Amino acid sequence: MIKPKNIIIIGGNASGPSAAAKAKRTNPEAEVIMFEEGEFISTGTCEMPYVVSGDICCYKNLVLFTPERFFEEKGVKVYIRHRVEEIDRFERTLTVRNIEDNKLLKFSYDKLILATGSTARKLAWLPNDLENVFRFKTIRDLISIRTFIKEKGVKSAVIIGAGYIGLEMAEAFCKAGLSVTLVEKDSFPFPSSEVEIQHLMLEILKDNGVYFFGGISEMKPLTEGRCLKAFRIEGREVDADLVLVSAGFIPNTSLALKSKLELGRTGAIKVDNKLRTSDQHIYAAGDNIEVTEKVTGRPVYLPLATIAHAAGHIAGENAAGGNKFMKAVIKNTAVKVFDRSYASVGLTIQEALKGGFKAGAVHEVVPNLVKVMPQSEKVFGKIVYDMNSYKILGASFLGGREVTGYADLISSFIHTGTDLRTLGELYYNYTPPLSPFINLLSVLGRKVR
């Protein structure tokens, strides 16, 4: 096999750097180039809420590499503030604009990797040019929000959308000393989670002073010049020194569409199990692609850092002449909301039923330690299973830090097709300050006997 000499990656965060570094390791003789439209590469965006809250002191701690250091350590040439505007698939060339001087440049490639990521969803009814309305996707967004809070003396924040980002930012703004209002079109916060979790999450928000408006179909922005002053919600006027839109993410496919690459039914780029697009010379990885979900076997859109990183490695190796395969993924997510932690893996009961399974569920609330221990607190667990085979389809947990361990165990059980009843037969660790005498998973496994 003739190894490619010129490998180019478009996108400098998450899957982009992992693809670039892996391509160079796989084929050290290749020239590997990475383009990034923004000013930062290889950033820890999942940690951004904790800079707003003050738990992490500075955004610079989240920038893992400069272009110079990435070249020194990885051997990859990096161009920041360079936007790829056109792909000529027949000539295998790129038209790239240097944003600093507005000049157009041409580059040739043997293999190309699209790592263009995702974009924060906009709201059609909310003007995009208001100076105090923000989205939260990039380090530049983080800097803008922190600067605005400091310079404008912000006292109140309205967050639109009560998903993962909305919940994390509600806590972050509270820690920063702001009065926080969280608005959601569904009746309860965290609408993608199990119903029991939604009710528990509402109590957590109330206990920590977050004002929640649920089931909101219409909210009227009240503006003054280029500043949004308040919202009228259900007849009430809610002050908004700062507004954060956290309405989810959409795949950044504009360049793929312009290049006439095939998209999947989720709206993300369609790839094969080697992460090749409909053009054999172009790969894609990260938040811009759809992946196969293991439980259902169907394509889904899952913009998660862990999946993006893994996909970047596979795309990078294959673009450099390797032969790696992207296997079906298991969704495994978590979020900390004030002093409570949530973790979810696989399908919820709603997703399982919608996916055509004859699905059932068991749930329980137990102490996470023996009751006599001073740190003991309640933890909620729910496992979804196939009522025909008893195979585990998914699970959700809300409690302390132990919940991510439960989720990781369930992820391995889903991967191996474990019977739910087996959980009641396993031997779990027990020591009073660290773990309960009877494990939550054991309790749930025995509930279906």
pLDDT tens profile 272-327: 999 999 999 999 999 999 999 999 999 999 999 999 999 999 999 999 999 999 99
The answer to whether residue 3 scores a pLDDT higher than 80 is no
How far is CA 81 from its chain centroid? Answer: 24
6-118+250-319 to CATH, choices 3.40.50.10490, 3.40.50.720, 3.50.50.60, 1.10.357.10: 3.50.50.60
The answer to whether residue 2 scores a pLDDT higher than 70 is no
Of 119, 70, 86, 105, nearest to 10 (Cα)?
86
What are the C-alpha distances in Å from 210 to residues 163, 166, 181?
Answer: 14, 11, 6
Percent of the chain predicted with pLDDT > 70:
100
Question: What's the pLDDT at 16?
Answer: 98
Average pLDDT of the residues in 344-370: 97
How far is CA 444 from its chain centroid? Answer: 28
Rounded Cα–Cα distance for residues 325 and 276 (Å): 10
CATH number for the region 342-446 comes to 3.30.390.30
Question: What's the pLDDT at 390?
Answer: 98
pLDDT band at 217 (very low <50, low <70, confident <90, very high): confident
Amino acid at 437: F
Question: What's the pLDDT at 218?
Answer: 86
CATH H-level superfamily of 122-245: FAD/NAD(P)-binding domain (3.50.50.60)
With beta carbons less than 8 A apart as the criterion, state whether 275 and 326 touch: yes
Question: What's the pLDDT at 235?
Answer: 86
Per-residue pLDDT reduced to its tens digit, 224-253: 999 999 999 988 999 999 999 999 999 999
Per-residue pLDDT reduced to its tens digit, 47-76: 999 999 999 999 999 999 999 999 999 999
Pairing outcome for strands 133-134 and 242-245: parallel
With beta carbons less than 8 A apart as the criterion, state whether 5 and 21 touch: no
Domains 6-118+250-319 and 122-245 share a fold: yes
Average pLDDT of the residues in 15-34: 98
- For residue 7, count CB atoms less than 10 angstroms from its CB and return exposed for 0-12, middle for 13-18, buried for 19 or more: buried
How far is CA 35 from its chain centroid? Answer: 22
Paired tokens of 229: 């002053």
What are the C-alpha distances in Å from 124 to residues 128, 185, 247?
Answer: 9, 15, 11
Average pLDDT, the chain: 97
Paired tokens of 356: 């055509």
The answer to whether residue 4 scores a pLDDT higher than 90 is no
Question: What's the pLDDT at 98?
Answer: 98
Rounded Cα–Cα distance for residues 335 and 169 (Å): 11
pLDDT band at 351 (very low <50, low <70, confident <90, very high): very high
Nearest 10 degrees: Cα torsion 380, 384, 390, 393: -120
Average pLDDT of the residues in 111-123: 97
Question: What's the pLDDT at 172?
Answer: 98
Average pLDDT of the residues in 165-181: 98
> What are the residue boundaries of the structural domains of the chain, listed by start?
6-118+250-319, 122-245, 342-446
pLDDT band at 1 (very low <50, low <70, confident <90, very high): low
Percent of the chain predicted with pLDDT > 90:
96
pLDDT band at 205 (very low <50, low <70, confident <90, very high): very high
pTM (two decimals):
0.95
Of 3, 12, 68, 2, nearest to 30 (Cα)?
3
Question: What's the pLDDT at 423?
Answer: 97
